[in-house]
Structure formats: C-alpha cells, structure tokens
Structure 1
Amino acid sequence: MTEHPEQPTPPARQSRRLDARSLRGLAHPLRMQIFELLNLDGPSTATRLAERLGENTGTVSWHLRHLAEHGFIEEETGRGTKRERWWRRVPVANRLDTSDFRDDADTRGALSLYLHELVQQYFNRVTSYLGEEWENEWRDVGTVSDWSHLRLTAAQLQSLNEEFAAVIARHTPAPDAEPDPDALPIVVQIQSFPRRSRNAR
C-alpha cells in the first residue's frame, strides 16, 4: 500500500520517499496534528499552534524543532522575532510506501501509529465539514460517498488509483496561477482498498 501524505500548497515541485528515520520522526499524534495545521492553514508560531491544539507552548516548540530536524518543516526567515519564530511546511511531497517497512520490526509500531493517526485525521476533517454551516452552493457540491461493489484485480485497482490521481492533477492549479477570488481550499480524500469476503463457506 502506498500512502501520499498531505500535498503542500502550491503543488510541490519535489518529492521524497520516507525512510524509517523520517517516518519515526513524524509518527507522533501531536506532531502529525501540528504538521496538518501547517499544511492546511499555512505558517504559524508555536504560540498560535498551542492555542489551537490546547497544548503547552513549550511542548509544541519541542515538536516543531523535531519536525524541522527531520525535514518536514522549516523556519520562515525574515518573519517573527527571536522569541517568536514562524514555521512553515517544506514544499516537498512526502511519499510513504508501506512495503518498505514490511520486514522491519523496529519500524512496525511507528508505521501502525502513523496510519491510524492519518485515518483519524481524514475522519476528523469530514466530521468538521458536516458540523459546519455552509451556504447552499457549497453544501450541495460536497460529497461523502463510497462504492463497495467493485471487483478488481490488483493491477486494476492500481490503475483506478492512478486515474484518480490524474483527475486531481488536472484540477490542481499551477504554482504561479492567480487564484479565483470565489475559490476556497478543497480537500479530496480517497481511500481504495480490498476487503476480504466474510461469507460463510
């Protein structure tokens, strides 16, 4: 299974494949929350992030430095003061291939935690959207759908995922494109996976 953690905005021009060290550096519930906020809402400070997350500023600062050490975020130079540093996501798309860690017992726990937290983030985004008030033009165009009657081979499932990615790429504006004033940030979440049949034999 291949996971594509959050893509930076604007679209990344570079990508990196996460190794065991970088995976362990990210696989922590609070660090993943911090990383998500910087990814979705842009640069911030430890103080601002701590307020949003209900955490101690010192704790958030420690995790920010940890994320920076592993190359996920960087300080935004020329902004802030010595006492209040601004942090932003490094504009690199992170790619995680779970098969890289299939036989690595030392990384199995970090991988399990990361995937659990990632799915929880996806769930939280949907529930937040459903609990918010939106104008009809936006409420009517969002979707929470599933299709559970497909029967595909592994190669066909891979092809389906590649087609999904190609569609998203066609709708992703160029980094230097002028944003439409009526456009809002959009989150697209896709989960496609095989399911073992539970039919009695």
Structure 2
Amino acid sequence: MSEEKVQPEPRQRRTLDVAALRALGHPLRMRILDLLSQHGPQTSSTLAELTGESSGSTSYHLRILAKQDLIREIPERSAGRERWWERPPGSVSWGDGAETRSPAGRAALQAATAEFHRLRNDETTDYFTRRADREPEEWREVSASFTTIARMTPAQLAELSQQVEELITAAGARYRDQEGEGVRAVTVRADLFPLKQLGGAS
C-alpha cells in the first residue's frame, strides 16, 4: 500500500507595509517573532526568560507587534494579567512595492532585512561553531550546511526558487504540528541570490 502524499495547505502570504517593517527593525521584536515561530505561544514572562529582558520590556514590544497584526493574543489561554501570544499561520513577504521605494520605506525595509539576516547568521554560526559539539550524535549526524555555485539566468533561478519553496512548504505542512519522542523544532533554510560581479556593480 503506497503512502498517501500530504498536500501542503494553501499558505496565506502577507506583504508587509512600512509600519510593520519599522516594527521588525527592532532587534528584540524580531527575536520575539522568531521565538513565537520556533517554540509556539509564549507570555511576556516566558519571553523575558528566553531573551534575558524584563517582562515589562517584552510586554511593551508584544503590544507593538500585535498592533501591526504580526502576532495575536490567544484569549482562551489568557487569564488575568497573564496573556498568551502566538504568531498567526502563513508567511510574510518583505515586498518591493511603491511604498518601500520611498526613502523612509527603503530605510524601514533595510532595517528589518538586516535584523532578519543577522539573527539567522547568528543562529547558524552559534550552532556550527559551538552548540553542535554538545548535541547528541544522532542530531550531529543529520545537521548539515550545503552550498554550491551555479551559473543561471533569472528565469532559471526563479524556477529553482519555486521548487525549493514547494519542498520546504510541503515539509512544514507534514511536520509542523508533530509531537512525540525525539521531536524537536528544526530550522530549514535556503539562500538563493546572485553573487557580486567582479568589476561590476554591487
């Protein structure tokens, strides 16, 4: 009997406006959004423990993220002053529309993009230079970092990007809510971009 293929759920994609990008340009707010994505719902107190900040600080930044609909409260879990927050399902796009082409919009986009990649670079460096040695062998053996160089046209890169996105989306749909022994949150990444041309424009 063949295994039934899990079809990925349709993913809602939101293009962030300048106000949302400004919110994400702050290091702690980007970190909070990442923690909600990686570890599920949290309160200002649990986020304070994870970030080393005060609960007053995390509570303040949670409200800013919520104002931009980047996160949402879970009313059924909240009680009294303890409010639980989660990241809504779906993906976001940084966008390159008219709004982000103004000087203020471009600055907001650059700040948010810088924080996004700084966090990912820090996580990657931390794992492969420090944490990997402390992980069980079964996790060390399956951790990997791949890279290659190809010479492609924009159309070919677009096709590859779509294929990679479909593969990652399918994995997310299959394993997003999995629980049980041996299950941990993992990060799945792909970086696709043209390299700087020697002697050309940056």
Query: Shorter-chain TM-score category?
Result: 0.7 to 0.9
CA–CA distance in 2 between the matches of 1:62 and 1:69? 11
Q: How well do the aligned residues superpose, as a CA RMSD in angstroms?
A: 2.5
* Cα offsets for 1:70-114 (capped at 9, x unmatched): 001111112243222111112232122235555221111111111
CA–CA distance in 2 between the matches of 1:144 and 1:16? 29
For residue 6 of structure 1, what is the aligned residue in structure 2? none
1:14 corresponds to which of 12, 15, 23: 12
* 1:126 maps to amino acid: T
2:39 corresponds to which of 38, 41, 44: 41
Q: CA deviation at 1:139?
A: 0.7
Q: CA deviation at 1:167?
A: 1.8
CA–CA distance in 1 between the matches of 2:36 and 2:177? 21
Unaligned runs of 5+ in 2: 1-7
Distance 1:162 1:13, change over 3 A: closer
Identical columns (%): 33
Distance 1:144 1:43, change over 3 A: same
Q: CA deviation at 1:175?
A: 7.9
Residues 1:169 and 2:161 aligned together? no
Aligned residue runs from structure 1 range 146-165, under 5 A: 146-148=147-149, 150-165=150-165
For residue 79 of structure 1, what is the aligned residue in structure 2? 77
Unaligned runs of 5+ in 1: 1-9
How many residue pairs get aligned? The number is 190
CA–CA distance in 1 between the matches of 2:107 and 2:86? 27
TM-score by length of 1: 0.82
For residue 122 of structure 1, what is the aligned residue in structure 2? 120
Residues 1:141 and 2:142 aligned together? yes
Q: Which has the higher strand share?
A: 1
Q: CA deviation at 1:118?
A: 0.9
